[in-house]
Amino acid sequence: VIQVSENTFCVFFYSRSWENLSACSIVLVHVLSICSKLCYAIGGAPYQITGSALGFFLQIYLLDVAQIDAFYASIILFVGRAWDGITDPTVGFLVSRSPWTRFGRMLPWIVLSTPLAVICYFLIFYVPPFEDGKVVWYLFFYCAFQTLQTCFHVPYSALTMFISSEQAERDSATAYRMTIEVLGAVLGTAIQGQIVGMANAPCIPGPGDPVLNATNLSVVDGHNDSLLKTAYMIASGVICLVYILCAIVLFFGVREQKEFCRVGSEPISFFQGIKLVMGHGPYVKLVIGFLFTSLAFMLLEGNFALFCTYTLGFRNDFQNILLVIMFSATLAIPFWQWFLTRFGKKTAAYCGTLTAVPSMIVVVVFKSNLIMTYFVSFFAGMGVASAYLMSWSMLPDVVDDFKLENPKSTGHEAIFYSFYVFFSKFSSGISLGISTLSLHFAGYITRGCSQPEAVNITLRVLVSFAPIALMIIGLVVLYFYPIDEKRRQRNRERLREQEMEDSETDSAELAAII
């Protein structure tokens, strides 16, 4: 073993005679430092920060602040998500065809997309001084931001395969990343919620609500409307600043390893790449399994605030309950990282997903109690942490398995990750559509102080019974996922042998290096 740099080691395998260089082979092992893992993990925060802020507040902003008609607001949200679904595989294909530069192949995409992304994000939360064309304004900048965020997140996700060749190092870096991403979701919710909450309007009483002070429950006047617009702009400005800082840390703290970036013999077309990737059985089973489990957790997360506010009656405590869930998820990620290394990833995925099921049942069956709700939320957060970690931790194993089955088809890592991101966003879009339509037909009152009983029943289904059913379906699909620990270790050894065979073909170059 020869150390060639601070964190990179050359492992030489040689014959009895050092003079016989044609029998020598070399494997580069890049050991990631804690600082590198942290810098890599920080790069995942912008996606979660902006995603949580948009997920929780964009619909309310379009309706109550920008004063867009509900029909056009739904068009903006739907078209934006549909456009996002198109850009994911497209950007993944373009990234996979990108040439190597002095900064790598993934990092240039991240750096170039960041300035334009923060501008578009800020303009999403800016109310233009005109009425005609306002819908086009928000539709354009929402779609533009989704495209630029994809140009950031797809290369960043694929970067996992180029920071080290060791599965243990990649798994460890993924655990760091999931921890920071969960913290990013907490940070995005906190920034947007606290700043906007200071200027938020009170609820509007319904027919059955006693009006104690009608002046405090009136429609927002011009002064409050201006304060609310300013609050949204300040919150978006702070988030844009954090976005830029995270991108800077990622660029200067992480280096792509060119020796892990293998170029395919012949480039393939876009549809050939899709057919090749989607034809890999383990990848399809993993995507479908986590599509259902992700949809379950998206339903839980997207409706839990409404459930706490209206069904449980914790209007002034739901923000703290959400923070308990997210902080619990942050604390649980190191535990699940240890668990998967001890018992295997597939077992960890089962145990982690099932951890949240008792919490969903208890919070619905038993009478509402604030202390019990905090306790239940803590265990729900452990399930959320497992869903975050396992899906991204198991994906590199599928990519390695694909490489072994298709040794001549290389350079498709970005396509794998782009479709994975697409299905994650697809599940988020489905959950938003199901929730909105269900609440609409149940008679949901926008910004009401209370809701009809049909809405409360619908919310109980959306945070309990529906997610449990989806989790069961996902776990059944995941049961047929073929990459267990034995196959993962076997693939690791075969990849080592493949690297040794590749290095033997370059014996003359190795001799020059020595």
Q: How far is CA 401 from CA 216, 406, 418, 419, 428, in A?
A: 62, 9, 18, 17, 28
Alpha-carbon gap, residue 143 to 503, rounded angstroms: 45
The chain-wide mean pLDDT, for the chain, equals 76
Per-residue model confidence as pLDDT tens digits over 105-134: 788 889 899 999 999 999 999 988 888 888
Domain 270-483 adopts which CATH fold?
Growth Hormone; Chain: A; (1.20.1250)
Q: What is the pLDDT of residue 213?
A: 46
Per-residue model confidence as pLDDT tens digits over 4-24: 455 555 555 454 444 444 444
Angle among Cα 429, 430, 433 to the nearest 5 degrees reads: 85
Which helix (H) or strand (E) element contains residue 206?
A: none
Whether the predicted pLDDT of 158 surpasses 70:
yes
Q: What is the pLDDT of residue 201?
A: 54
Q: Categorize the per-residue pLDDT at 433 as very low, low, confident or very high, splitting at 50, 70 and 90.
A: low
Do the beta carbons of residue 62 and residue 68 sit within 8 Å? yes
Per-residue model confidence as pLDDT tens digits over 36-87: 888 888 988 898 899 878 877 787 787 777 877 767 777 787 777 778 767 8
Higher pLDDT residue, 262 or 231? 231
Alpha-carbon gap, residue 364 to 385, rounded angstroms: 21
Burial class (CB in 10 A: 0-12, 13-18, 19+), 472: middle
Whether the predicted pLDDT of 214 surpasses 50:
no
Q: What is the pLDDT of residue 23?
A: 44
Per-residue model confidence as pLDDT tens digits over 253-281: 888 765 554 444 455 565 676 677 778 88
Do the beta carbons of residue 136 and residue 70 sit within 8 Å? no
Q: What is the pLDDT of residue 118?
A: 94
Backbone angles phi, psi at 399, to 5 degrees: -65, -45
Please list, in sequence order, all residues whose beta carbon lies within 8 angstroms of the beta carbon of residue 154, skipping any fewer than 6 positions away.
Answer: 88, 91, 92, 95, 109, 414, 417, 418, 421
In a 13 Å sphere around the CA of 83, the CA atoms on its Cβ side amount to 17
Candidates 328, 322, 320; CA nearest to 352 is 328
Please list, in sequence order, all residues whose beta carbon lies within 8 angstroms of the beta carbon of residue 356, skipping any fewer than 6 positions away.
Answer: 297, 300, 379, 380, 382, 383, 384, 471
Do the beta carbons of residue 64 and residue 419 sit within 8 Å? no
Q: What is the pLDDT of residue 243?
A: 93
Alpha-carbon gap, residue 251 to 8, rounded angstroms: 19
C-alpha gyration radius of the chain: 25
Candidates 401, 428, 422; CA nearest to 412 is 401
Alpha-carbon gap, residue 393 to 410, rounded angstroms: 20
Whether the predicted pLDDT of 242 surpasses 90:
yes
- Which range, of 28-42, 373-387, 420-434, 464-478, averages the lowest pLDDT? 420-434
CATH 1.20.1250.20 residue ranges for the chain: 33-204+226-257, 270-483
Do the beta carbons of residue 109 and residue 151 sit within 8 Å? yes
Domain 33-204+226-257 adopts which CATH fold?
Growth Hormone; Chain: A; (1.20.1250)
Q: What is the pLDDT of residue 175?
A: 76
Q: What is the pLDDT of residue 320?
A: 74
Whether the predicted pLDDT of 282 surpasses 90:
no
Whether the predicted pLDDT of 380 surpasses 70:
yes
Q: What is the pLDDT of residue 473?
A: 92
Do the beta carbons of residue 464 and residue 363 sit within 8 Å? yes
pLDDT mean over 204-219 = 51
Q: What is the pLDDT of residue 501?
A: 66
Q: Give the 3-state secondary structure of residue 9.
A: strand
Which amino acid belongs to residue 224?
N
- Which range, of 390-394, 408-412, 463-467, averages the lowest pLDDT? 408-412
- pTM attached to this predicted model: 0.69
Candidates 55, 360, 364; CA nearest to 188 is 55
Six token digits for residue 35: 């600082």
Candidates 109, 46, 448; CA nearest to 243 is 46
Q: What sections of 198-317 are H helices per DSSP?
A: 222-253, 270-278, 281-306
Q: Categorize the per-residue pLDDT at 234 as very low, low, confident or very high, splitting at 50, 70 and 90.
A: very high
Neighbours of 398 (CB within 10 A): 23
Backbone angles phi, psi at 13, to 5 degrees: -115, 125
Region label for 35, one of left (φ > 0), alpha (ψ between -120 and 50) or beta (otherwise): alpha
Do the beta carbons of residue 110 and residue 155 sit within 8 Å? yes
Question: How much of the chain, in percent, has pLDDT values that exceed 70?
Answer: 74
Which amino acid belongs to residue 401?
D
Candidates 150, 157, 234; CA nearest to 192 is 234
Alpha-carbon gap, residue 110 to 153, rounded angstroms: 8
Please list, in sequence order, all residues whose beta carbon lies within 8 angstroms of the beta carbon of residue 204, skipping any fewer than 6 positions away.
Answer: 217, 219, 445, 446, 447, 448, 449
Q: What is the pLDDT of residue 264?
A: 46
Which amino acid belongs to residue 153?
H
Do the beta carbons of residue 390 and residue 414 sit within 8 Å? no
pLDDT mean over 461-471 = 89
